[in-house]
Structure formats: C-alpha cells, structure tokens
A and B are shown apart, each in its own frame.
Chain A
Amino acid sequence: MDTVTNVSARGEIAIELRGITKAFGSVIANNNIDLIIRRGEILALLGENGSGKTTLMNMLSGIYHPDSGRIYVNGNEVFIRSPQDATRLGIGMIHQHFKLVDVLTAADNIILGAGKGFLLRRNRFEEARKVAERYGMYIDPEKKIYEMSVSEKQTVEILKVLYRGANILILDEPTAVLTPQETQRLFEILRRMRDDGCAIVIITHKLNEVLEISDRVTILRRGESVATVKTSETNAAKLTEYMVGRPVTLKIERPDTKPTERLLNVYHLTVEDEDGVTRLDDVSFSLRGGEILGVAGVAGSGQKELCETIAGLHPIKKGAILYKKENIEGKTPREIIKLGISMSFIPEDRLGMGLAASLDIADNMMLKSYRDPKSPFTPRKAAEEMAKEVIKKLDIVTSGINQPVRMLSGGNVQKVLLGREIHVNPSVLITAYPVRGLDIGSSYVIYDALNEQKKRGVGVLYIGEDLDVMLELCDRIMVLCHGKVTGILNARTATKEQIGLLMAGATTNERYGEEVVPNE
C-alpha cells in the first residue's frame, strides 16, 4: 500500500488541489486554483512576486489553511492543519529562509524534531551520512551550520525533509542565494530525486531555470492559475506573456553615455560588523558620472555594508571614501547631507530603513529635507507638492498623499523611495536590490528611471541579484565574494559563467574601467 516512492508509481498523481481559495483581508492571494503534482516529475510554479505561489505551497505544508477548496494526497482528501500533518503525508517544504539551528551540527539539524526519540543517538552522524548518500549528496554531518556556506545549508535543509520521509518536495526560490555553479549542482540533485520517483515543485520567477529544470510549468498570475504547459512545448517569451498577461519585450535598454569625472573613489575600504567580523576587505573602486556600476555577489558578500558605509551609516575600519575631493570618512549621515554632497541611497530594507511605514507619503517625502526651513515647523506643504509630483511621474497607485506607506504594494513602495531620492537631483545614486519583489512592469519603470539618471550624468551604483538583468543594464560589474573584490568586468562582454566563478571566489586581475590610483 505504501509504495508511493516506488519507480512504478511514476506519473501517478501525488497531490491534487481543487478550487483552492485563500484571502488575506481584502487581498485574494489564491483564487480558485486547481493544480496537479505528479510523481517522477518536476513541476515549476512560475509567477511574479505576489502572484500567490508561496501562499499556495504554504497551504500544502500546513502553515496556512485554505478558505475553501480541497486537497487530495494520493487520492484521499486531507486537511493539513500543521507542518506535522504535512510531514506525515510525506510533504516537505524547503523555505526561502532556512530554518536551521546555527550552533548545531548538520546531523543534529537533520534528525532534530523528527520524532524519533528524545535523546541524541550516537549513530546520528552515520545515519545522516546514509541519507545523504542515498540521494547522491555530500555533507559533513559533524560540521556546524554556522560554518557552512549557503549551498551547504540548503543541502542540509533538503536532507532534513528527506529524513522525515518526504517524497513530495517543495522548494521556494531555491536558487536565489546560489551561484550559477551551485545552482547546477542543486539541479543535479533534483533530477536524481525525480528519477527516484519523488514529486518535486520548484517555486521560481526565473524563466531560464524553469526551462532548464522543469517538466511542466503552472503559471500563476494575481492569485489565479492561468495556464499549465509542458516545458518542452513552450519558450521564454510565451511564459512571460502568461506571467504578465501581455507580450513584453524582455530587452533592457542600455543607453550609451560618455562617463564623466570620478565622483566616488573608494580606497582599500575595510569594514567590520558589530561582532568584529570583517565584512569588507580592502575594497577599492571608483564610480564615474554617467555610468551604472553593478555589484554582483552571493547574498551577504558585503553588499549591505558597502552601501551603508558609503551612506555614513557604518564605521570604517581602514581605507577611505572620497566624494570628488572630499573625504567622507567619519562623517555622520547628516553631515554628509549637510556638506551638500548630493548622494542618494536606496536601501535594501525599504520599510525598515528607507521609509517610515506608518507615516503617509507626504511625510516620507520630507524625510531628508524636513530640516530645511528655519522655523521649528516641518515643510509639510512643500512635501505635499513633492508627493503629488512623484506620484504623477512614477505612476504610483495610491488613494492619495495621505495614505500610509505600509498600505502600498511593494512596487509602489519602491517607487515612493526612488521618487524621493531622484527628486533632489543627486549626483551619486546608490541602489540596493531596487527591483526585488517587483513585478515585471514595475521593474521596467525602475530600469528606465535609473537609465534616465545615468543620462543626466549621475553615477549609479546598482546592487543586484539577477545576473541576466545586470549584464543588460549595467556598464561595468564589480563582483564581491566574502567582502573582497574578485574582479571588475565590462558588462558588455562578460558572461554569466565568468561572473559565477568570481562570485564563488575565483579572482581575476581584470579591473575594467579603473585607473591606476595615484598614491596620495
């Protein structure tokens, strides 16, 4: 009876969803969705951010409960009320943010909570190794999680659900934190598991990955399932059209401009975090007016510290940052603003750093300029005017300038932030993941806005994660690995593989577009 993982079960329906609906307040995350997941098959769940992919899968893993609709596992209707229920049904989900205990070993993390006794058994390392071997994976079971790379942690996550007997695997954006090479390794593992009879669902919004790994694709748009197609019978353009709802040209513009003077010079910058861990290690580069310099790297390679240090939010250990001729080391953000340095920083954490979520749009507009008037009162009138202009210019969907920012959608939040920053005509613009969480349409609005700044002669530092986008948008790409610059490439000639190797720690002497720094 319990022969589901058997190869003979290939093609059999593992999970069937019928008419699943889930609403969060007025937002309908999933509307009447039907979905079939088969054994021995990799199903890609494709959709833009906010299209309801993760919500749908969270209902399978017992985190949410559908408002209506039915779930059948192996042909039986089930009500999955908790992650334990999901585990018992053989469903395992690997979340975007790992849920591991940092100070424990890989084996402990794999075995912990699997309900097989309270005491740690001596043979747990052996047991963990066996699970890994069965699926052709390699881990060191005695290694602590905090000593592991992101890709190793992910392996542990996968082994964790396999150890609990999962034969239906759901992976939420598994490649977001991996280098291209690590992604290939993950895909190998997934293929092997598929051939072993597992049912695999991979949630993603990256088209090339869908085409590479999946057998079937189900596309969600605004909470509805718009199509299910065989991967072999489709292509990137068609998939995008399903995702967006209309044909889209996938070409990002890269206007040719003549780079001007060096606006920002970073010399041998070394930065530590609060725990004394080196986050940036001897980083040197320069940023010219009229160019977009991309910064690539696996998440946590020092991108955040780089931005925050330039903005004056993070102390410098060694080295210097020069804006034109002015050394901004040791200056507070306010002093940097006061010096007349028009530098704009669009942080990664929009609501937690760039904006005050509970304040309305107009109040957020004056975040950096509220001190301007001499009187003790805020320049509310000017801020209201500015809010109206920005709303019009960037097409922000809102009920008005008095709407709190937290009630806006992700794309509109980002537009408010970008709108404020470019409204002051900066000469340097630093943006961290400006399109993260945005739909394709909004992303293009942002790319256009950045290109417009570039044409105005602004130096743009673009911290990104999607290499395909960066290769099209940026003029140069600097790659960071563990806080070190492993290379600066010409984006017009570089390849993804090249960048991938640099992200993983290989180095090159290429410093495209950098001049030899004169000794001072």
Chain B
Amino acid sequence: MNKAATGTHMPRFHIVKRVEMTRGEIFILNLYAVLIAIVAGGILIACMGINPVSFYGTVIVGCFRSALSVKSLIRIVIPLLIASIAVIPAFRMKFWNIGGEGQFIMGAVFASYVALFFPEGIPHLPLMLLMAIAGIIGGGIWALIPAFFKCKFGTNETLLTLMLNYIALYIIQYLRDGPWRDPAAGGFPKIAKFPERAWLDQLFGVDISWIVAVLLVIFMTIYLKRTKHGYEIAVVGDSVNTARYAGMNVNAVIMRTMFLSGAIAGLGGMLQVSGEATTHTLSMGIAGGVGFTAIIVVWLANLSPITTVAVATLIGMLDKGCGVAESTYGLSSAVSDILQGIILFTVLGAMFFTNYKIVFRSKQSIKSHTAAAPGGENK
C-alpha cells in the first residue's frame, strides 16, 4: 500500500520567500556578511602561518601610520570614488556600463592631448579647464558609442562597453609606441611628462581632485533624487514601457545618461593623468582597474552616492593596508584581491537572504510525521 504513495520521503529543509527587509535589516545583514568574510579571510591567513589578528591590525595601522600613508590612501580612494560615482546613473537606469575603465582612460587620453600639444602660451588655469573639457568629451564619447548602438540596433551594452575598455587601453599603447612617443626618453617607449602648467593644483598637500570628488557626490545625490533627469533615469530603470507610456523619449534618456556617466569617468581620468599619483603623465597603468573595482563598490553601496564614499574608502583601505601587510609579512600581492573577492562573495551571497529564508525541519518532527501516517486513513 505504501508503495503507491510516491515521494514519501519528507524533505529535511526547504526554501521560503520572506517578508521584504527594511533598509536597516539589510544593512545589518551586509555587516554580518563582511564579518563572515573577515573571519574567512582570517582563516586563510592563519593557514599561511600568520596571526590573523596582527595581520588585520597591520592593515588598519598601515593606512594611517603617517601623514604619507594617509595621503597615499587618499590617492587610491579618489579615482575609485569618481569612477564609482560615474557608473551610478547608468546602473540606476539598468544600463550595465562595464566600461568605466575605458571611459576613464579616454578622458585621460583626450586631456593628455591638450596638455602635450596645445600651444605653450596658454596659462595654467585655462589650460586646466580645457583639459577638463577634453576629458569630459573623451569619456562621454566612449560611453555614447555603446549607448548609440544599444538604442539603434539593440546591441548588448555589457559586451560593447567591456570590449571598448580594451580598445581604449591599446590606444594608449599605440600612442606611446607611435605618435606620442617621447623622443627625449632615449628609445624607451613612454609618453612625455606634462609641462608644469598642466599639473593639478594642490590643497592640504594632496591634489585638488578630492574637492572635485566631493562636489560630484553632492551633485549626483541631488541629480538623482530631485531633478527631472534623475526621475527619468529611475522610471526607465524600472520599466521601459512605463517610461514610454509617460511620454519619455527612452533613447534620449539612455544616451544622455550614458554621456553623463562617461563624462564623469573621463573627468576622473583627466584628474588622474594630471595629478601626482601618476607623476603627471599618461601610461598604460593610468586607470589600473578602477573602472572595474567601481562596479563592485557601487554594487556594495546599493547605488547610493553617499554610501559609495564609505565603501570606496573601505576598499581603498583594504588595498593600501594589504599592501603594507604584504610587504610586512612578505606575502604575494594577490592577498588583497583574494580578501576583496571573499567580501564580495559573501555580500552578494547574502543578498539571497534578503528575499528568502531556509526553514529546517527537526528530525523529531519528521519522525512524528511518519509515525502518524499509518497508511490508509479513509473515513
């Protein structure tokens, strides 16, 4: 008789949809995720024979042990922050702009052209402004290309933006080995250092890109929350059909927003190339992956510009601090990447639990269940 009843084995646990979490609960959940990541990373470090507590201590102390370390931390955080702010509007629109890296690079390339080849007579301030405009145009165009093809032919923006990154990178190589090669470098392939009037000004001992970054955070917060443009981005991101129904020109919104996204990244590239972090010149390592890290940052920051500041700082600290710890303990430079990866893994994994929970059944309840089912209970 029992044979007829298939599937008599009672499942031990099952997954259940849960009540939507409040922002506070999500924050706490993410905190747990980071905590788990730190513990997991600690185990890894312990496996390498290093005391995890002192390792993490070194990471934190390494960021703040001297004015010089703080300065270098800022130099890491600022370009990352700008690149992150840049991708936020595109991501809010659900346009997956993976091309922040390339847009950053093209901004740097355009600005470099102004710095290297504009007439010597232009004074410092106008030159800097021209470089900024060039950077904005360079990044903007690089972002407009995939937006245009997406709107016109429905191409996949993820692939297109990603591939444009590599094109941008190899444009630098071409310029370095070809037309822009510094003849004074004695055969060594490099681009010349900018003239001093194309160097970024300094304030409190660091270059002023941090002021630009702060302004961009404020601008982006207001832009997304209060302006018509920001509203259109939110609606298009929610549903293209709703946007069309409301009479929005969806393609125009996509192109405009992508230009803005690229323009900010390009401005970031201009600031980077004229700043001291790169010793005022264009090289292959100009972006150094900030465009990619930015995606992680904004994702962890839930696409909020303010939270992005905190997350970018934390990631920057991890980078800088791990660098110090790596040299202290003689570790490979991959350690910070591994830790970042673990954090991302746990935080993204934790997202599952914002929507679902797992319900376990105790062994006893399963037993009592089967015991109480004696074959036929016909009435």
Q: List residues of chain B with CB within 8 A of the CB of A26.
A: 19
Q: Does B8 sit at the interface, judged by CB under 8 A?
A: yes
A311 and B245 contact, CB distance less than 8 A: yes
How far apart sit A370 and B230, CA to CA, in the bound complex (Å)?
11
Binds B, one of A69-77, A151-159, A386-394, A495-503: A69-77
Q: Does A508 sit at the interface, judged by CB under 8 A?
A: no
Q: How far is the CB of B244 from chain A (nearest CB, A)?
A: 6
A363 and B231 contact, CB distance less than 8 A: yes
Q: List residues of chain B with CB within 8 A of the CB of A347.
A: 245
Q: List residues of chain A with CB within 8 A of the CB of B5.
A: 73-74, 76-78, 89
B231 and A370 contact, CB distance less than 8 A: yes
How far apart sit A353 and B244, CA to CA, in the bound complex (Å)?
8
Q: State whether A352 and B241 are in contact (beta carbons under 8 Å apart), knowing that A333-B247, A376-B228, A378-B227 are contacts in the complex.
A: yes
Q: State whether A352 and B242 are in contact (beta carbons under 8 Å apart), knowing that A75-B376, A378-B226, A378-B227 are contacts in the complex.
A: yes
Q: State whether A75 and B17 are in contact (beta carbons under 8 Å apart), knowing that A353-B245, A356-B235 are contacts in the complex.
A: no
Residues 71-105 of A, flagged 1 when their CB comes within 8 A of B and 0 if not, give 01111111111100100110000000000000000
Q: List residues of chain B with CB within 8 A of the CB of A72.
A: 377
The number of chain A residues with a CB under 8 A from chain B is 56
Q: State whether A78 and B6 are in contact (beta carbons under 8 Å apart), knowing that A70-B373, A407-B20 are contacts in the complex.
A: yes
Q: Does A355 sit at the interface, judged by CB under 8 A?
A: yes
Q: How far is the CB of B377 from chain A (nearest CB, A)?
A: 6
Q: Does A359 sit at the interface, judged by CB under 8 A?
A: yes
Cβ contact of A1, chosen from B4, B8, B235, B359, cutoff 8 A: B4
Residues 201-237 of B, flagged 1 when their CB comes within 8 A of A and 0 if not, give 0000000000000000000000000111111001100
Cβ contact of B239, chosen from A25, A77, A334, A356, cutoff 8 A: A356
Q: Does A24 sit at the interface, judged by CB under 8 A?
A: yes
Q: List residues of chain B with CB within 8 A of the CB of A333.
A: 244-247
Q: List residues of chain A with CB within 8 A of the CB of B359.
A: 67
Cβ contact of B245, chosen from A16, A67, A81, A345, cutoff 8 A: A345
Residues 464-481 of A, flagged 1 when their CB comes within 8 A of B and 0 if not, give 000000000000000000
Q: State whether A368 and B246 are in contact (beta carbons under 8 Å apart), knowing that A25-B18, A75-B377, A79-B8 are contacts in the complex.
A: yes
Q: How far is the CB of A71 from chain B (nearest CB, A)?
A: 10
- With both beta carbons as reference points, the residue of chain B lying nearest to A332 in the complex is identified as B247
Q: Does A327 sit at the interface, judged by CB under 8 A?
A: no
Q: State whether A357 and B227 are in contact (beta carbons under 8 Å apart), knowing that A78-B6, A89-B6 are contacts in the complex.
A: no
How far apart sit A2 and B249, CA to CA, in the bound complex (Å)?
64
Interface size range on B against A: 35 or more
Q: Does B375 sit at the interface, judged by CB under 8 A?
A: yes
A359 and B235 contact, CB distance less than 8 A: yes
Q: List residues of chain B with CB within 8 A of the CB of A334.
A: 247-249
How far apart sit A2 and B248, CA to CA, in the bound complex (Å)?
63
Q: Does B10 sit at the interface, judged by CB under 8 A?
A: yes
How far apart sit A356 and B248, CA to CA, in the bound complex (Å)?
13
A376 and B227 contact, CB distance less than 8 A: yes
How far apart sit A67 and B17, CA to CA, in the bound complex (Å)?
11
B226 and A380 contact, CB distance less than 8 A: yes
Q: List residues of chain B with CB within 8 A of the CB of A349.
A: 241
- With both beta carbons as reference points, the residue of chain A lying nearest to B226 in the complex is identified as A377
Residues 276-312 of B, flagged 1 when their CB comes within 8 A of A and 0 if not, give 0000000000000000000000000000000000000
How far apart sit A125 and B60, CA to CA, in the bound complex (Å)?
73
Q: State whether A368 and B239 are in contact (beta carbons under 8 Å apart), knowing that A77-B5, A78-B5 are contacts in the complex.
A: no
Q: List residues of chain B with CB within 8 A of the CB of A355.
A: 242
- With both beta carbons as reference points, the residue of chain A lying nearest to B21 in the complex is identified as A25
A65 and B8 contact, CB distance less than 8 A: no
Q: Does A23 sit at the interface, judged by CB under 8 A?
A: yes
Q: State whether A88 and B6 are in contact (beta carbons under 8 Å apart), knowing that A377-B228, A380-B226 are contacts in the complex.
A: yes
Can you list 18 A-B contacts (CB < 8 A)? A1-B4, A24-B16, A65-B11, A65-B14, A79-B9, A85-B6, A85-B7, A333-B244, A334-B248, A353-B245, A356-B235, A358-B238, A359-B238, A366-B231, A368-B246, A377-B227, A378-B226, A380-B226
**What residues of chain A have their CB less than 8 Å away from a CB belonging to chain B?**
1-2, 13, 16, 23-26, 65, 67, 70, 72-82, 85, 88-89, 311, 313, 332-337, 345, 347, 349, 351-359, 363, 366-368, 370-371, 376-378, 380, 407
**What residues of chain B have their CB less than 8 Å away from a CB belonging to chain A?**
1-2, 4-11, 14, 16-20, 226-231, 234-235, 238-239, 241-242, 244-249, 359, 369, 373, 375-379
15 extra interface residue pairs, beta carbon distance < 8 Å, beyond A76-B375, A78-B8, A371-B228: A25-B20, A75-B378, A76-B8, A76-B373, A78-B5, A79-B11, A311-B245, A332-B247, A334-B247, A336-B247, A345-B245, A353-B239, A353-B242, A370-B231, A378-B228
